[in-house]
Amino acid sequence: MTAAPLNQPLAALPDAAGPQGGPLHVGLIMDGNRRWAKARGLPRALGHKAGVDAVRRTVQAAADAGIGWLTLFAFSSENWQRSADEVRDLTGLLRIYLRREVNTLAKNGVRLRVIGERDRFGSETVSAIAAAEEATAGNTRLNLTVALSYGARAEIAAAARALAAQVAAGTLAPGAVDEAMLTRHLATRDMPDPDLIIRTSGEQRLSNFLLWQAAYAEFVFLDVLWPDFEAAHLDQALAEYRRRVRRFGVGSG
């Protein structure tokens, strides 16, 4: 697709409602915080803070658009390789977001869940995550999943190890292992597969995000840095999604 230039206003898009309607599950790779800060001569921490503001706007926009599931790629397992200062800034912002936003999420009917290796963040952050999940557990308007210290290859490997252990124990026949069984051992086992994955900043790759689950997802890459992401950008991606015909490998264009 032709995307809007970096940080420029979006052109008006025609109405384009396809036969499939809107996506049930949207995955979002939030990219561009550091470049946003660098372009403005600001510290990286302020770029990440602006990114948190974009999360707040996007969650509201997704709920307003009637999206049932939104999964945000917030911190990859590879992000631990960044500088200690940046990791500290990111985890600090995470705790602040969880504490300040949980009441708003609960009020707006948003259920928050976290997937990934949460234990790597330390007891204070783990407690904040658990408290936010518990406070929003009964909400049904929007299922918000945040991927933290998450990597899809590690997720698939963990599922394979769990199945291998059952085979070794004699409780599972090797021939019984199929795609559905592996899916049930993933962190997303009770979630629908993503229909649409959006990535900001102009980069066009998955970066180890929901590799198994995204087998038939549609992809939209937007040339906007994440801190500048607005409801209009989400609308642009949804309009592009509705223009497409999803065949799931059956038939051709």
Q: Binding site annotation covers 201?
A: no
Euclidean distance between CA atoms 253 and 246, whole angstroms: 10
Report how far residue 215's alpha carbon sits from residue 236's, in angstroms, rounded to the nearest whole number: 22
Residue 44 assigned ligand-binding role: yes
212 marked ligand binding residue:
no
**Binding site annotation covers 127?**
no
Q: Rounded distance, CA 217 to CA 228, Å?
A: 24
Active site (annotated) includes residue 79: yes
Flag whether 226 is marked binding. no
How far CA 135 is from CA of 14, 98, 123, in Å, comes to 40, 11, 18
- The verdict on whether residue 207 carries a ligand-binding annotation is yes
35 is in an annotated binding site: yes
Q: Is 76 annotated as a binding residue?
A: yes
252 labeled binding residue: no
Q: Is 48 annotated for ligand binding?
A: yes
69 is in an annotated binding site: no
Distances (CA, A) of 204 to 2, 21, 31, 70, 123: 13, 25, 11, 20, 35
36 is in an annotated binding site: yes
34 annotated among ligand-binding-site residues: yes
- Among 187, 195, 126, CA closest to 157: 187
Compute the Cα dihedral for 63, 66, 68, 72 and give only its sign. negative
Q: Could you write out the DSSP letters of every residue in 12-40?
A: P------TT-S-SEEEEE---HHHHHHHT
Q: How far is CA 175 from CA 39, 117, 156, 205, 236, in A?
A: 55, 30, 18, 34, 45
Per DSSP (E only), the strands in 128-215 are 142-150, 196-199
- Examine the residue annotation and report whether 31 is marked as an active-site residue of this protein: yes
User: Pick the catalytic residue: 7, 15, 31, 235?
Assistant: 31
Among 7, 15, 53, 79, the active-site one is: 79
Structure tokens at 209: 């995000």
Which residues are annotated as part of the binding site for Mg(2+)? Answer: 31, 218
Which residues are annotated as part of the binding site for substrate? Answer: 32-36, 44, 48, 76-78, 80, 82, 199, 205-207
Which residues are annotated as part of the binding site? Answer: 31-36, 44, 48, 76-78, 80, 82, 199, 205-207, 218
| Residues recognised as catalytic | 31, 79
